[in-house]
Structure 1
Amino acid sequence: MSIIISSLAELQQYEDQELGISGYHVISQEQINQFAAATLDFQWIHLDAERAQTESPFGATIAHGYLTVSLLPYLWNQIVTIENLKMQVNYEIESLRFNQAVTVGSSVRLRAKLLSVKDLRGIAKARIEVTLEIEGSRKPAYTGVITFLYHFI
């Protein structure tokens, strides 16, 4: 169940708190293939299962790092529901570190902590510490800090 936030003041109440963990999302080969087509990144490590099995240190195809990053809004929205918005804008990614490859068929989930909220003349600037966890692995796929701008009604 996600946290429901309807205003800048409500968002500020969660500052410096872990907000929760999303559900798991399975990374499929079809999703990897579609991401490759959308981004024109056709490196064999993502697409050639036979070659990846024999030549890759991972033993299977892996998700593009940016595919896993692009899941942030989807997984974040499972943790927090922001209501009364005109729009949400992706503003910044800082200190993003890819720690481990995500192999095809892996399940990933997002852990999020709201680091800070600033009021920019009615626009909320929310900095969120994110960790993309891989089911069954002690090492996360990545860690970092993202910033969203929330334009409340």
Structure 2
Amino acid sequence: MDISSITPPSNATYPSSSSKSTSGSSLDMNDFFKLLAAQLQYQDPLSATSNDQYMAEMAQFSTLQAIQTLLKVENYTMATSIVGKKVSYVSTQSTATGSYSVTTKAGTVDAVDFSGETPKFYVSTTGDDGKVTSSWIDYSAIRMVYSPDVDLNSGSDT
């Protein structure tokens, strides 16, 4: 039987893209059971899938879930370990002419926000005038993390 000749029922409903999580890379057990139900519904009754294959799929899915959880915990641990440390980061600002100015700044990480796709860091920066400003910095903007005791300009510990 040719696969192209198989058509889904006309009353089939499909989840909208807005009902999925924003990450797009996170699967849960509900997703696995939906896939399993679809496999069972559309399998060829003359050559049914073995129980061993379903168990192998479930084991693979459980392993994938455990790895995703481990990576998430590792990212949280890494991000929280930066609190209290100095960071060097890239700052992009638009100018009056419509162009962009890219500068490298340094500051101290005061907090981490995990509400988005990637962590954001609340960084306090002391300007040349001695004024302290704070802003949220994307994880991707950070170029270096170092101890508050290190003065990168002198090349030695203070």
Q: TM-score, normalised by structure 2?
A: 0.30
More strand by share: 1
Q: Which structure has the larger Rg?
A: 2
Return the structure number with greater helix share.
Answer: 2
**TM-score, structure 1 as length reference:** 0.30
